[in-house]
Amino acid sequence: MKQTKRSMLLGTAVATLLASNLVGASALPETAPAPANNPTTPAKVELGKQLFFDPRLSIDGTISCNSCHNVMSNGTDSRATSVGIDGQRGGRSAPTVWNAAFLSAQFWDGRAATLEDQSKGPPLNPIEMGMPSEEAIVERLSSIPGYVEQFNSVFKGKNAVSYDNMAKAIAAFERTLITRNSPYDRYVSGDKNALSQQAQRGKKVFEQSGCSTCHSGANFAGPTQPIGEGFYQKFPAIDSDYDKKYKLSDDKGRYEVTKNKDDMNKWRVSSLRNIALTAPYFHNGSVATLDEAVRVMAKTQLGMEMSDKDVADVVAFLNSLSGEFPEISMPRLPETVNNSLVGNMK
Amino acid sequence: MKQTKRSMLLGTAVATLLASNLVGASALPETAPAPANNPTTPAKVELGKQLFFDPRLSIDGTISCNSCHNVMSNGTDSRATSVGIDGQRGGRSAPTVWNAAFLSAQFWDGRAATLEDQSKGPPLNPIEMGMPSEEAIVERLSSIPGYVEQFNSVFKGKNAVSYDNMAKAIAAFERTLITRNSPYDRYVSGDKNALSQQAQRGKKVFEQSGCSTCHSGANFAGPTQPIGEGFYQKFPAIDSDYDKKYKLSDDKGRYEVTKNKDDMNKWRVSSLRNIALTAPYFHNGSVATLDEAVRVMAKTQLGMEMSDKDVADVVAFLNSLSGEFPEISMPRLPETVNNSLVGNMK
């Protein structure tokens, strides 16, 4: 049973990946590709940074994008699941915003094609930022003179404050969030001392045991796909005790988006960039440590009990995927004078 | 009755202030004074900045100092009262951290003498950051290698991670949060065009009607006092309908600290620096706009109905107290690798 499932999984994966690198053999690019209708410009990035850090995008002024995707840290909140307005808990773990620009589909279930689409979700989600409508957000942004001025300048219009343009600016900022020059990147660029002996052993285990079948490409998230076409795999693919222990199957994953039975428990393959920094792990954040996450993956996706030594080596390799975080200046949020937009919220 | 109360109030104030400037006639200093046992150094400021922005100082990793004292904005959360862990609401409005270094007593009721003392409060407050004990905070900080290294280096010790040193570092960072070069500062430095005609009229109203009796000094928060000795006034001092409308007397203020009847409804006189940016107003954040706050103050402290024109002029003057916010680089929060310190918090 386990063998059969594993063969099916690998069969599908190999067919998908035949023409692509099985191993993430390239360094992260310096810049992220942007859609033709949203070129990245410095002024747009600056506006997007302000919006990303502005808690006034939430109904009561307490939650910004950065609350759950902390750019000063690992791009997540380091929690199993996030906390939105009124202390409400979400159901899935916040994915990191670092290098998200290189993913071809956003959210755990790939329900947004682009960073632009993704950024439109949380502000309207009642348990995240809780704004009642796009119009309410546009109205709030339009009450802040510093935003009106920047929107009109960046998007060249007289009434350029819109939900679409907000999303474009945030996405432009997010496209600058790239962590390059990890030990792994230096290694594949020719510096053979950039990886420790243990990390090099871990790299071999990672490749030979099949991790790299799915975690391929420069972002270790699968082959490059057209924007909007995610690279999905079933998780857990193979029955094990971990399923019950960590409630891995409770959330139906992409099935909840498509209602297609083939998508049951399927998830976008996660990037492994900075994975050592983004505990806890998996869609429900149920696994606390990276070594346990490696054990779970080996069992549920590859049907193997990985030895403690191999786990330690793979963890050493995964640590080599932690990149350098660029220095960023703090945004200054444009003010409303003589009054507050969120002052009288309960 | 009103006249009597007013006279008593002014009598006290004049006695207190006799030897000091009745008008805030000087610009903000370039640097803030530091206690002898906590000199401000660049490495300490950098460590303090990281701590100030680190949500791991709260039990569940959701609240940092910056959550309620937003340095990217006005140094507050722009709310009537703040929101701590689990969506809990506090009872008083978060005072701005900008220029707090120039206050001789911290908190609305002056219960902390220094920024060091102040910063030790919120982490342990069950409705703010909710850490169970100083020991729990020290243990958490000690689990973060990047903090251990910095504490030992900054405080020159082998086991220098302590609650006291955490407070010292945060205070050192806060002493750099100064907004200089406001229109008012430029005006008193000789640039007579820095204030509009309306703001100059407002300045006269501010001085002649008695606002500057208490809001004196470079920080518009009263005379310079020894550290720990706050400058307190009763608020509201004179009966009016505003009291009931805005529940101004419900909170007993400094009385809650001292249990001394003379301190009933007394409050540390607030700085007016950046006051146009820090709505809503007063200890309970009950007043939404600056013009209404001016009306309330004129009535409750000076016993006068201020005309709409005078209110508008005073508001114009108060707007001239908004300074320039220095550019600050984002801190990079030191990581824990392969696990999270807050991942398994509910």
The pLDDT assigned to A317 comes to: 98
B253 φ, ψ (degrees, to nearest 5):
65, -135
**Chain A partners of B80 at a C-beta cutoff of 8 Å?**
343-345
Q: What value does the mean pLDDT of chain A take?
A: 93
For the whole model, what pTM was predicted? Answer: 0.93
A1 in Cβ contact with A239 (< 8 Å): yes
**CA distance linking residue B76 with residue B94, whole number of Å:** 6
Q: Is A174 a catalytic residue?
A: no
Do B256 and B302 have their domain in common? yes
Residue B85 located in a structural domain: yes
- B78 and A56 within 8 Å at the Cβ level: the answer is yes
Contacts of A261 (CB under 8 A, 6+ apart): A255
* Averaged pLDDT for residues B126-130: 98
The pLDDT assigned to A192 comes to: 94
Residue A65 binned pLDDT confidence (cut-offs 50, 70, 90): very high
- A79 and B343 within 8 Å at the Cβ level: the answer is yes
Do B309 and B197 have their domain in common? yes
Residues of B carrying an active site annotation: 128
Q: Burial level of A39, CB count in 10 A (0-12/13-18/19+)?
A: exposed
**Chain B partners of A328 at a C-beta cutoff of 8 Å?**
329-330
Instruction: Residue A283: give the domain boundaries.
Output: 2-29+179-319
The pLDDT assigned to B25 comes to: 64
Residue B61 located in a structural domain: yes
Residue B119 located in a structural domain: yes
**CA distance linking residue A241 with residue A259, whole number of Å:** 27
The pLDDT assigned to B346 comes to: 74
Residue B247 located in a structural domain: yes
A97 in Cβ contact with A74 (< 8 Å): no
Q: What value does the mean pLDDT of chain B take?
A: 93
**Token couple for A48:** 């997007």
Q: Which of B276, B275, B293 is nearest to B284 (CA)?
A: B293
Residue B259 located in a structural domain: yes
Residue of higher predicted confidence among A13 and A129: A129
Q: What is the pLDDT of residues A34-51, one digit of tens each?
A: 999 999 999 999 999 999
Q: Which of B4, B236, B63 is nearest to A67 (CA)?
A: B63
How many angstroms away from the CA of A72 is the closest CA of chain B? Answer: 5
Residue of higher predicted confidence among B279 and A17: B279
**Token couple for A222:** 């699968």
Do A168 and A193 have their domain in common? no
Q: Does the pLDDT at position B12 exceed 50?
A: no
Residue A117 located in a structural domain: yes
Do A169 and A193 have their domain in common? no
Do B146 and B203 have their domain in common? no
Interior/surface letters A232-249, b for 16+ CB within 10 angstroms, e for the rest: bbbbbbbebebbeebebb
Q: Does the pLDDT at position B27 exceed 90?
A: no
**CA distance linking residue B14 with residue A66, whole number of Å:** 48
Q: In this predicted structure, which of A222-236, B23-37, B87-101 has the lowest mean pLDDT? A: B23-37
Nearest to A333 among B56, B73, B330 (CB): B73
Beta bridge partners of A272: none
| DSSP at B59 | T
Do B167 and B71 have their domain in common? yes
Q: How far apart are the first and last CA of chain B?
A: 55
Do B161 and B265 have their domain in common? no
- B338 and A77 within 8 Å at the Cβ level: the answer is no
Do A186 and A314 have their domain in common? yes
B93 in Cβ contact with B69 (< 8 Å): no
A175 in Cβ contact with A115 (< 8 Å): yes
The pLDDT assigned to A238 comes to: 97
- A79 and B88 within 8 Å at the Cβ level: the answer is no
Cβ of residue A86 closer than 8 Å to a chain B Cβ: yes
Q: Is the peptide bond before A95 cis (omega within 30 degrees of 0)?
A: no
Q: How far apart are the first and last CA of chain A?
A: 55
Residue of B nearest to A322 (CA): B337
- Number of structural domains (chain A) is 2
Residue A185 binned pLDDT confidence (cut-offs 50, 70, 90): very high
What is the per-residue DSSP string for A134-189? HHHHHHHHHT-HHHHHHHHHHTTSSS---HHHHHHHHHHHHTT---B--HHHHHHT
**CA distance linking residue B272 with residue B279, whole number of Å:** 12
A103 in Cβ contact with A218 (< 8 Å): no
**Token couple for B69:** 């004292």
Cα B240 to Cα A40, A160, B249, B263, distances in angstroms = 56, 46, 11, 20
Do B67 and B15 have their domain in common? no
**Chain A partners of B272 at a C-beta cutoff of 8 Å?**
none
B202 in Cβ contact with B317 (< 8 Å): yes
Residue B326 located in a structural domain: no
Do A202 and A109 have their domain in common? no
B183 in Cβ contact with B320 (< 8 Å): yes
Residue A294: alpha-carbon gap to chain centroid: 19
Do A53 and A125 have their domain in common? yes
Beta bridge partners of A21: none
Domain of A167, CATH number, reads: 1.10.760.10
Residue of B nearest to A342 (CA): B79
- A72 and B333 within 8 Å at the Cβ level: the answer is yes
Contacts of B90 (CB under 8 A, 6+ apart): B81, B82, B83, B84, B127, B128
A221 in Cβ contact with A103 (< 8 Å): yes
Considering Cα of A269, then A72, then A88, then B59, what sign does the dihedral take? positive
**CA distance linking residue B12 with residue A341, whole number of Å:** 38
The pLDDT assigned to A345 comes to: 85
Q: Which of A81, A158, A65 is nearest to A120 (CA)?
A: A65
| DSSP at A94 | P
Residue A342 located in a structural domain: no
| DSSP at B328 | -
Task: Quote the ipTM score.
Answer: 0.92
Cα A234 to Cα A301, B277, B307, distances in angstroms = 8, 51, 70
Do A196 and A315 have their domain in common? yes
